[in-house]
Amino acid sequence: MRDRYIAPAVMLIAGVVMSVINLVNHEEMLTSLERLLVVLICFFIIGKIAAAVIRKFTATKAVDKVPENDMSEKNEEDKENTQID
């Protein structure tokens, strides 16, 4: 759920940087808006890809982790089974 804000954050940071660059270079309004639109779309896509990669990485990390409670319960069951035999 936390990864849903990654794409908009990346897009907005890129938009701020592009706006500052346009202001410093004294670009015309139409030119700066066209560039800003292209940058926002590109970085939104990049942010979506980054969020998907992060989501996939964190999902595999969570699956690889085995809670201690599950292991201790299994060990107790194994001990009980060996005592019965």
Cβ-count burial 48-78 (b if 16+ within 10 Å, e if not):
eeebeeeeeeeeeeeeeeeeeeeeeeeeeee
pLDDT surpassing 90 at residue 4: no
pLDDT surpassing 70 at residue 1: no
Q: What is the mean pLDDT of the chain?
A: 83
Whole-structure pTM value: 0.66
Cα(85)–Cα(79) distance, integer angstroms:
10
pLDDT at 28: 96
Residue-wise pLDDT tens digits, 45-72 = 999 999 999 999 888 776 666 566 655 5
pLDDT surpassing 70 at residue 30: yes
Q: Which two tokens stand for residue 14?
A: 């890129």
pLDDT at 3: 79
Q: Where are the domains of the chain?
A: 2-84
